[in-house]
Chain A
Amino acid sequence: MRVRFAPCLVIAAAAMLPLLLDPRGYWIRVLTITLLFAAMAQAWNIVGGLANQISLGHAAFFGIGAYTSTVLLVKFGISPWLGMLAGGALGGLAALVIAIPTMRLQGHYFALATLAFGEVMRVIANVWTSLTGGPGGLSVPFAPPSFAAYSFKLLRPHAYIALVALIVATSIFKAIRRGAMGYRLRAIRQNTAAAEVIGIDTTRVKLEAAVISGALTAMLGTLYAQVAVFFDPDTVFGIASISIRIALIAIIGGIGTAAGPVIGAFFIIPLEEIMNSLLSSRAAGLSQLVFGVVLIAVILWQPRGFVTLFSAWRARLSHGRAP
């Protein structure tokens, strides 16, 4: 197999970054969140990019992951690592439950159904106070720092765990895209009826993709909970804060590509953080307003994502002329 130069360079650079940033500082937190969101967008990309089913409800799985591990830790003292596996299983199960009725839907209809599913989970988390603590939120209890307890004094280990998570998510995405499942998903995207005619069990392939995507997103929810330490239903099940942001990162970077979610996350999350620190003190809502304007501009100007810019540069470099 050919070793690609660019991905190795990116990974090496990303591995160096946590060492350069102040371990108690603000930017290492931004980096960790960026890596986590890149990984989540990659998980979203499995269903959104390959099968072109635009989910606006991935916060459902994310929140399930965050709550499962934290509730297990608070009530039974179970290590978040095991909680992450339990969250992944529940997230996969939830993906199955929602995929069975909605899988036949396409385009806007699928987006609407998943949007409502995310809201169902948010309402349940708000109402089921005995389990989740309700709107008051949930804190991850302090544990003496150790790897087994997933508790660290500084943020540096969190950044590395997030980096590993991103590499794993990207590898899974690439493996699926390269393998038989990827071909089947793309066949479904182009023409579901034709895919069925040539013998693809479209139902099964869509369910498999949904479960993998949901389980991965839930596991990343656990990692987020460990970094955030405190969260409430409106944060982890939020439409704008999670569902739309995950999809947006993949779309702005380049939907259906392995590099897209990474490019998108490293554009969106730091941009949001910079805008928040620059603008929020002046006026509430200004940073989000700018965010919306950027989104509209990107959709109108580069609807297939920034990744097309990179491939245009590469074509120019290799051919020595404009593509």
Chain B
Amino acid sequence: MSLLQAIIDGILVGGVYAVISIGLTLVYGVMGIVNFAQAEFLTIGMFVAWFAWAFLGLDPVIAAPLSFAVAFAIGWVVQGQLIARVLNAPSVAQIFLTVGILIVIENGSLLLFGSQFRSVTTSYQTSSVSLGPLFVSVPYLIAFMMSLVCGIALWWFMRASWFGRAMRATAQNPAAARLMGIDAELMYRIAFALGVGLTAFGGAVILPYVTVFPGVGSQFVVLMFTVVVLGGLGSVAGAVAGGIAVGIIQSMSSLFFPIQLQNLVLFIVFILVLAIRPQGLIGASR
């Protein structure tokens, strides 16, 4: 029964991992850049939600759209002013530009907010609903539902809206998209801003069960990369499957290993997937 419990926990946590990681895969899919600073936008989202809770009394789940908006705005500027300049540069420059952004955001938040840990208190934080012999944690469930809503909205945006179709066209062939009158630079900006916005949104919805501090993003870096690599870098549907897979791997390994080794299991899965099938285990198409 603890196995089934672990699977349920894994799915709930993994749904959030999917939303956090979709941005990473979206940016790679559209412009071929791996954003090493992606996890820092999780930190930004968490801080926005924490301040909204502390000063406006908003529940982190309500504040999540605010986190999305702030990260979207920052991402808009970062893409336009910085990333756009290295789109055709060698991968070394791309990697180290985003590493530079990571260092700036992490230390900028250390400078602004200090190194102390902050958490929120909500009425549902420790409650859970029982489902026969199983327990479903309410904060996990709420975070999962929010992620689901967010995922469906993104799916609609990418499938049905003009912007979504234009973005996918740009990803497939920027030159042809330009000939069709699509502003590729605008699409890159939207993709990047949307991607970091989603990560920040995920940061807000996990705030009821994760403490925020300037280094919190770096704890999620390898996890996020594992999610997108499992699903195939560039595949949004793959990231959803990858997120749930990582959630389950993590909660299953907590049954067998001490907490410090959980990440080790994840890292090893990550290296193995990269080594055996770098195009991803799940969903080969973008």
The interface of chain A, by Cβ under 8 A from chain B, is 52, 54, 56, 98, 101-102, 104-105, 107-109, 111-113, 115-117, 119-120, 123-124, 126-127, 239-240, 244, 247-248, 251, 255, 283-286, 288-289, 291-293, 295-296, 299-300, 303
Contacts and interface: CB of A to CB of B under 8 A. Distances in A.
Interface in B32-83: 34, 82
Interface in B199-254: 214, 218, 221-222, 225, 229, 233
The 9 closest A-B pairs by CB, nearest first: A101-B275, A292-B103, A285-B110, A292-B104, A295-B100, A296-B100, A285-B107, A289-B107, A288-B107
6 contacts: A109-B233, A109-B274, A116-B267, A285-B109, A288-B106, A289-B104
Contacts of B97: 296, 299-300
B272 A284 contact: no
Given A285-B214, A296-B101, A303-B89, A113 B107 contact: no
SS class of chain A's interface: helix, strand, loop or mixed? helix
B175 interface: no
Contacts, number: 136
Interface of B: 28, 34, 82, 85-86, 89-97, 99-104, 106-111, 114-115, 214, 218, 221-222, 225, 229, 233, 258, 260-261, 263-264, 267-268, 270-272, 274-276, 278
Given A284-B111, A288-B103, A291-B107, 5 more contacts: A284-B110, A284-B115, A288-B106, A289-B104, A289-B107
Contacts of A291: 103, 107
Residue from the set A293, A296, A299, A300 with the largest chain B CB neighbour count within 10 Å: A299
Nearest to A293: B104
B111 A120 contact: no
A244 B100 CA distance: 10
Contacts of B96: 247-248, 251, 295, 299
Contacts of A240: 103
Nearest to B269: A116
A290 to B, nearest CB: 9
Given A101-B271, A107-B91, A300-B82, A286 B222 contact: no
